[in-house]
Structure formats: C-alpha cells, structure tokens
Amino acid sequence: MKQQFFVFVIRWMLNSFGLWVAVRLFGTGYNSAELTEGVWVFLMAGLIFSIMNTILRPIVIILSLPAILLTLGLFTIIVNGFMVYVSLKLAPGLNMTFWNSVLTGIVLSLVNYIVSSALELQYVRRQEAKR
C-alpha cells in the first residue's frame, strides 16, 4: 500500500510538471488569456488529472474500444486529450482548448510512459536483488 501511494505521488508531481511544460509550450489556445497562475494551480490540476487517470480513464477506454480498434489505437490520443480537457475544466484557474489538450495529452502520455518504465525497472532490480 505504501508503494502504491509513493507511485501515485510521483505521478502526481510529474503530471503537474508535465502540465506546466505543456502550457508553456502550447499555451492555452485562447488568444486573450494571460497565464499568471502559480505552482499551486498546476499542482491542483496535476492532482485532478492523476485521479481522473486512475479512476475515469479505464472506463472511458472501455467505452471507446470500438473507435480505438477501428483506428488501430490512434483514438487513444483523443481519449488522453479528453482526460486533460476535463481535468483542466475542473481545475481552478486553468483553461485550454480541446486541441491544445490533445497536444498536452501527448506530452503527459510520454511523461507517464517514462515514469512507468523507470518504476518497473526499479521493481525488477529489487526483485533480482532478493533472489
């Protein structure tokens, strides 16, 4: 249980950092929006995104399975963008257009892939050390 919480906190922090990077790279998509939010807004948005990714994303993936199969998996990019879009709509102080959310979803997918790979490698090394 302690290990799972540790992994969740790492994902939360890195998702928050990924959101910050993506907003700095792509902007919000609104021309008149001036982004002056601080660290706490991105931490809150990262927490909301991490919770939604843990709970809601598997349900959305199952419901959109026909579209994912039809597009040979490319529809998962849209699903990730949708998760980011909904998360930022729920987060106070951050707004982003849907297509910028899709680009942000790509960045966050890469961040999550790197974190998952690093944690899995650490787990394998720990299991080998026990033998």
Q: Which residues constitute the domain of residue 106?
A: 2-130
CA quadruple 74, 75, 80, 84: dihedral sign: positive
Question: Among residues 51, 49, 54, which one has the least CA distance to residue 15?
Answer: 49
For 15-71, the pLDDT digits (tens) are 888 888 888 888 766 555 555 567 888 889 889 998 998 899 999 999 999 999 999
Note the pLDDT of residue 35.
58
Tokens 């959101």: give the residue.
19
Question: Across the chain, how many H-helices and E-strands are there?
Answer: 5, 0
Q: How far apart are CA 56 and CA 7, in angstroms?
A: 18
- Count: domains in the chain: 1
95, 88 Cβ separation under 8 angstroms: yes
Q: How high is the pLDDT of residue 4? A: 81
pLDDT tens by residue, 78-124: 999 999 999 988 988 788 889 999 999 998 888 888 888 887 877 77
pTM, two decimals, is 0.80
Residue labelled with tokens 């966050």: 108
User: In this model, does residue 131 exceed pLDDT 80?
Assistant: no
